Structure 1
């Protein structure tokens, strides 16, 4: 919402969320549900699944014994399978037709004044004094992917990997406030940071969100839109 200004509803019950969104924004005709596959009561027109290329299907077990939220057999029912990053270990259960995608860094946003800096400008202005050293924090599913992307820019990092959605521990937060080098985090983590800024975050140049996007091939976009149009006509 902060990036695109599109209507967003958050609720553990996806059916209620969809109903609320449609009631509040009747002009909306396409709903995207994050983590919606396992919410079987929610009707869907198209199903897409995203697989981490580095970790693949893991041990092929569902939570809590493994990383999967649905059995592997569900892959055969998906309309589109997207692989985030290079697929390290191709698996016979993986559909032959899958689409590679990759996150690309774009700019950094100062979480004090919301100023935006292209990567090269940020490094020159904020990291030249520290010789490219920065602190990075991530509470996402695979923090190392985020850290590796920053290291690829030539940064030397002190890292704080946290579990997905994990709040920043009090002792870590206190330590971060004593550092002189910039703190970098994902856009996902920045949402919570904006809501609960620590007392020491009082000026620009201290904390930044690393922003980017995932370019989608025109072939993938065309395929999704074509299928959506076909099924919408059938449903109506």
Structure 2
């Protein structure tokens, strides 16, 4: 995805945050002229109801996850009402590729809204680009680990991918690609027993070195950290 689109969506997110701070759920919904409702959606995490002017968020999830979903839907609305940006996206992508790009941009914008880039840059400068920052940033700023992973993927030493793995057998719970990273990793992909991510979880020891993505072949730089039954990992291209 072209960096210009990413920059424009981050700018939308920053402007919204500055205009509607503090970002309580009610203020976020009111910021786009909607009300907020938590309900059983039968699958989706959230959706916009343009007719009723409501943001619908799936009930029963953690407050941090619900807040991320709300921010995602707000960014959806902002993109849909930015005629120039929306037109450019339609010119650049078609069919499923458009939907994939739109969802990725909404995730990126939601992360920027809830966890500003400057906070991530400061954390990396102070502590280094390390996977423990995923749970640490999530805890420090009261956001979901998915938000922290998306934000960190944008600030690698090269094109980067952030990953959270868990379960038995080990599988991908969430991953996020930063700018310039072409490789992708689908949710729920299984991770082989001899992969460094699984070895890190089983031994409780971090891994730093070169390794492919689960199911991949090309070695990338990998730093994996097991913690509380999960494995947090950062891949990047030097």
Normalised by the size of structure 1, how large is the TM-score? 0.26
Normalised by the size of structure 2, how large is the TM-score? 0.26
* Bigger Cα Rg: 1
Which is bigger in relative contact order (C-alpha 8 A, separation at least 6)?
1
